Structures are given as C-alpha cells and as structure tokens.
Amino acid sequence: MKKLLFLSVVALLAACQSEPSMPMCHDPNTAFAMFASDKSFRDAHPAPLPVALTHAGKNIEFSVKDGAKGRGYLVKAEHRSNKYLLLFHEWWGLNDYVRNEAAMWSKELDINVLAVDLYDGKVTSNPDEAGKLMQGCVPARALAIIDGAAKYAGRKADFRTMGWCFGGGWSLQGALQLKDKVKACVMFYGMPEKDVEKLKTLAPDVLMVHAKNDKWINDEVVAAFKLNMKAAGKNLTVNEYNADHAFANPSSPKYNEQAAKEARAAVKAYLSGK
C-alpha cells in the first residue's frame, strides 16, 4: 500500500511539472495531502484529547486579497513589539490546543503570536474528516491567507514561522512566501520543499524537528531535504528524537513527554536568538 501511495505521489508531481497551468506544482503539501488516502496514515493520527482553553488571546479576522476574510488567533506580547511568531496548525485545524500553544510561546518568548487558520474556520477531531480538510486546502488560498496575516501584523512587523505535521510544511512555505521579512523557521515533522531553486529564495535558516519513528516524514525525506538545502546554499539544523509523528502535542495519544520537553527547549533557544 505504501509503495502504491509513493508511486501515486511521484506521478502527481510529474504531472505538475508537465502541466504549467496547474498551481503550485512544486508544493510539497499537495504530496503530503496524498498521504490522507492511506488508511495507515489516518490510523497513525488518533483523535486528539480535549483541552481547556487558557483564553490568553483573541480570535481575529483580516483582509485577504481574494475577498474572503482570513482568520487567526492572536496573543499579544507583554511588552510592545513588532516581532511576530506565525503558527501553523496540524491537519485538525486551528483548535484550542494550537490556541494554547500560541499563549505559551507568547509568554515564553515575550513575542506576538498569530496562529493562522488555513482551513477558514473548519476544525475536526475525526481523522477521516481531517484528511479531507487537508486535501481540500487550496495552496493559492493558503498563501493569500499568509499574506493577509502578515499585512494585519503591520508594515514594521518581522516574522518567525512554526508548525506541526501539515503545519510543519506550511511553516516552510510561509517563510518562502514572506521572504526577507522572516527571521526563523521551525518545522515539526512537516513535508519539506523539494525545489532547490525555490529554496534558494529562502531568507532564514531552518530548524527541523524530526521524529525518528515517523513512517512518512521519514529518514529518507529528511536526508533529501538536507541535500536540497545544501544545494541551495541554506542552513538547516535537524534535531532528531526517538519518537512518533505528533510526539510534541500533549493532546495527542502519541505524545512523548521527554522528547517534547527536549524539542521545546531547543526551539526556545533557537527562537530566542531571532
């Protein structure tokens, strides 16, 4: 099944390269979304546990160039700042776990945190529905939402990006989209960009958190990313943990407390210098 899925992904990417009218041909999240057709991938994402919202921020809306409003969750820094961390949610959508992450990172870094909603308000805890939401995410709309979030933050704002799983890939795409406005990029077990020419336009270095037991964003995917980043002349740090995909999410049955603590400490040290 996995071999068949891999061949399907290769065929999809080949079709994109031969058809210039298709949007975002090199978009790795298109390939990542193909995984949702694999039952074993869905089964590897058990429903998240409910969490209590800390209510540290507020839901916001902002203008997007295609006309439909964008959504997000904003937690302001304790001290006035033009520094922003953009968070990108897992395939579940912008849920209360992500809102709590926004509150935690804002406090830890004394930074404005804006969790960006790439699903336009849709949220689920059902793996089958999450797969459909991920596959239904239109790259052009997602990039327009990212642009709208950046404009909402203001002309003087600069950014760091971070995301998990589906959002891990979008953390890198967000950094590519916002160019030199981005000072740092963190990817938790997300699909990397494969286009070396596109990676050459990346402004920040990248910290990738890799779950060694991940069967999809696996050692081979990470090794290829290392080679592509080197070819692009960009700096990549990969921190590896003997844990499963989604290990850093306390609401996930896959949560690995020790690995999560180590990863969070590494991310905090990295972002504190940005």
pLDDT tens string 160-204: 999 999 999 999 999 999 999 999 999 999 999 999 999 999 999
Q: In angstroms, how far is CA 44 from the centroid of its own chain?
A: 18
- Residue 183 to residue 270: CA distance in whole angstroms: 11
What's the confidence (pLDDT) of residue 7?
Answer: 41
155: its two tokens = 């002309």
pTM flag (> 0.75): yes
What's the confidence (pLDDT) of residue 41?
Answer: 86
Q: Which residue has the tokens 């995917």?
A: 221
Domains and CATH numbers, the chain: 2-272 (3.40.50.1820)
- Residue 255 to residue 274: CA distance in whole angstroms: 28
Contact by Cβ (8 Å): 141, 24:
no
Tell me what the pLDDT averaged over the chain comes to.
90
pLDDT tens string 47-90: 999 999 999 999 999 999 988 999 999 999 999 999 999 999 99
∠ CA 85-72-76, nearest 5°, is 50
